Structure 1
Amino acid sequence: MSDLLDRGQSRDASVVVARDAHGLVAVLSARFPRHGGEFLFLPGGRMEDGESPEGCARRELREESGVTAESWRPLGSYGITLQSTARVHLFEARGLTLGPQELTETEEGFKLSWWPMADAITAAIEGRFLLPAGPLALFLADRP
């Protein structure tokens, strides 16, 4: 997710709403002092060369939260900014298996917690998410 904060990047990205068997959502939190404190976000990041949007979503979910998933549902693809052709691809993941986080040096402060969907959506409405892709993914995943 930290790589989504880099300005001037034109690579597509993926963001994941990972829901467990009880409907809880994987939510990450970290301190971003230059953005004003601690924020929430969903697992995600920029695509690597030759990587598909779903491949990126799978990798980022595993790395940032330690989670793998059996079932994937695309939620849509959206422009990131008017100044870039890059798109963010949103997914819902289910059938989760938990494992260890594989955090990079820039992700070391990422804390994983599991939230009821209603609480995650409330946090999004309150502006507690750093980037807009997470709240958008939550709203879309909450639709039948």
Structure 2
Amino acid sequence: MNEAMKVENIKEYMKPLDVEVSQNFVYGYTEPGLLSSFTYGALASFVDMSHFLLVFSPEEIVLVGLTLMGDFADTYVRIPRKDIELSKAKKGLIQYKIELKVKGDKKLKFKANKMIAAAKWQKGNIAFLESNNWYQP
């Protein structure tokens, strides 16, 4: 439980993918869609919300799926920077809204809280990524 909230486990998980991690990742999630909200009501956030580690590098963005309990879901997607048409992070009061537009696909929207109790690294990693303009050209 919460294996993906420990930096050592994240580094170990990313080794076979040959992706270097230091402070270039954040925990993010997607919110349930409107249809789920009508169908499941208050339970929609548990039924339809997806959780990810978003790993940013100059060459690509890797989305690593997480379970609701914070474990690795053994699914990931690699998006080469050349395929990203739009990448922006909007700073809010308690969270960032991260938007990616991939060639031929719709926009992907994530939210990343500035602080997470189980992931002490989140605040520092967000500051690092912001100082590097989220690796945007």
- Bigger RCO (CA 8 Å, 6+ sep): 1
Q: With the length of structure 2 as denominator, give the TM-score of the two structures.
A: 0.30
After TM superposition, the score normalised by the length of structure 1 is 0.29
**Bigger Rg, structure 1 or 2:** 2
Structure with more of its chain in helix, by fraction = 2
